[in-house]
Amino acid sequence: MKVVVFDKREDEEKLFKIWQEKNPDINLDVYSQALTMDNIDLVKGADTVCLSSVGKLDDRLYKALKDLGINVISQRSAGFDMYNLDIMNELGMKLINVPSYSPNAIGEFVVASALFFSRNLNHIYENVKNHDFRWQVPILSKEIRTLTVGIVGTGRIGRATAKLFKGLGAKIIGYDLFKSKEAEEILEYVSLDQLYAQSDIITFHVPATDDNYHMVNEKSIATMKDGVILVNAARGTILDTKAVLKGLDSGKIKGAALDVYENEVNLVNTNKTGENINDDLLEEIIARNDIVYTPHIAFYTETALDNLVSFAIDESIKYLKTGKSDSIVNK
């Protein structure tokens, strides 16, 4: 069997080598270039292709792959909006994604970001830079075990995050459109209004939908506790960024950890050192010390990368051998 991998990043190199050593009977061809109509010949003789597309795939590629005998594509991410599933369905092709590569990776990042603000590290760092070494009331901190953490979206990542905060002794409340039994073992479900009114830390773990576009806005922020800490490691569109800035200015919000940003699409995993990013809002976010902005990187751990690489390849091989996979996007 032959698998052709495209979009290989430097950080994945070692992982493909290890996978190949463990699976000597499979022929793994690995390329760092993206799959295009110009290099489609590299797929000749393959049984499946494994991609890590970040942009929309050229619609012509599906038919070209099908003509080369490819019936299944695996994508090394949870997101799959870059694929045209209508064309894939018409051609009888399947797409496999990696829905859960490490919820804990994101959960840990959320806890770290929340602790950064709850322990006032932003202010302490600033004071020390000014040679102000005092212990004083503005930086007197609260321990997590005295706080209430609100989890909006109690799916895989929300639950993993809740468990970590629970381990630190926090009271955990949650809100989701659908309650899960697993989550009920960790947290108490409340309404969204109650969650906003009671939480000292609120962390969002919902997908971006039309319904939750700017669910955090001036109106909802006004219903939150004074000095609330907000964490968004889900999708940028959930928060009205300008409303968050207003909330920070007024002191309503103590700190905001934003791993995602509404207009991040052309910036994620790029190096723009020395360049003008032409985004005043993001420049302000980066400059503020009551915001920690990180470039959609909460997932980025060795464990997560390892799971992305091995699951995507293993699952497509399993599908080719058995006709079954729980991770087919277009069932």
| Interface region with ligand NAD, contact rule CB under 6 A, candidates 38-46, 123-131, 208-216, 245-253 | 208-216
Q: Cβ 297 to ligand NAD, closest distance in Å?
A: 6
Rank residues 39 and 263 by Cβ distance to ligand NAD and give the closer one: 263
Q: Helix, strand, coil % (nearest 5) of the chain?
A: 40, 15, 45
Instruction: Identify residues 163-182 at the interface with ligand NAD (CB under 6 A).
Output: 175-178
264 among known catalytic residues: yes
Q: Please, is 187 exposed, middle or buried when counting C-beta atoms within 10 Å of its C-beta (0-12, 13-18, 19+)? A: buried
Draw the binding track, 212-241, toward ligand NAD (x: CB under 6 A; -: no contact). Answer: x--------------------xxx------
List strands edge to edge, sheet with 27-30.
Answer: 27-30, 2-5, 48-51, 72-75, 94-96
Q: Cβ 329 to ligand NAD, closest distance in Å?
A: 13
Largest CA distance in the chain: 70
CB atoms within 10 A of CB 251: 10
Give me the residue label for tokens 């321990």. 143
Among positions 21, 38, 41, 211, the unique one binding ligand NAD when judged by CB under 6 A:
211
126 among known catalytic residues: no
Rank residues 120 and 310 by Cβ distance to ligand NAD and give the closer one: 310
The CA angle 86-103-315, to the nearest 5 degrees, is: 50
Q: Exactly one of 76, 235, 262, 315 is catalytic; which is it?
A: 235
Rank residues 158 and 255 by Cβ distance to ligand NAD and give the closer one: 158
Q: Exactly one of 264, 283, 288, 315 is catalytic; which is it?
A: 264
Q: Do residues 262 and 217 make contact, with C-beta atoms less than 8 angstroms apart?
A: no
107 touching ligand NAD, by CB under 6 A: no
H/E stretch holding 282 reads helix 280-287
Instruction: Identify residues 266-305 at the interface with ligand NAD (CB under 6 A).
Output: 296, 298-299
Q: Are strands 72-75 and 48-51 parallel, antiparallel or unpaired?
A: parallel
Rank residues 75 and 212 by Cβ distance to ligand NAD and give the closer one: 212
Among positions 113, 154, 307, 316, the unique one binding ligand NAD when judged by CB under 6 A:
154
Q: Exactly one of 12, 262, 296, 315 is catalytic; which is it?
A: 296
Instruction: Identify residues 75-104 at the interface with ligand NAD (CB under 6 A).
Output: 78
Among positions 207, 219, 265, 270, the unique one binding ligand NAD when judged by CB under 6 A:
207
Among positions 4, 43, 95, 153, the unique one binding ligand NAD when judged by CB under 6 A:
153
| Interface region with ligand NAD, contact rule CB under 6 A, candidates 37-45, 127-135, 195-203, 209-217 | 209-217
CB-nearest residue to ligand NAD: 155
Give 316-322 contacts, CB < 8 A, sequence gap 24+: 316/3, 316/48, 316/50, 316/72, 316/73, 316/74, 316/96, 317/1, 317/3, 317/26, 317/48, 319/72, 319/94, 319/96, 320/1, 320/47, 320/48, 320/72
Rank residues 49 and 304 by Cβ distance to ligand NAD and give the closer one: 304
CB-based contacts of 223, cutoff 8 Å, min separation 6:
193, 196, 197
Q: Do residues 111 and 161 make contact, with C-beta atoms less than 8 angstroms apart?
A: yes
How far apart CA 18 and CA 30 sit, in angstroms, is: 13
Rank residues 207 and 251 by Cβ distance to ligand NAD and give the closer one: 207
145 among known catalytic residues: no
Interacting residue ranges for ligand NAD, rule: CB under 6 A:
78, 106, 152-158, 175-178, 205-207, 209, 211-212, 233-235, 259-260, 296, 298-299
Catalytic residue ranges: 235, 264, 296
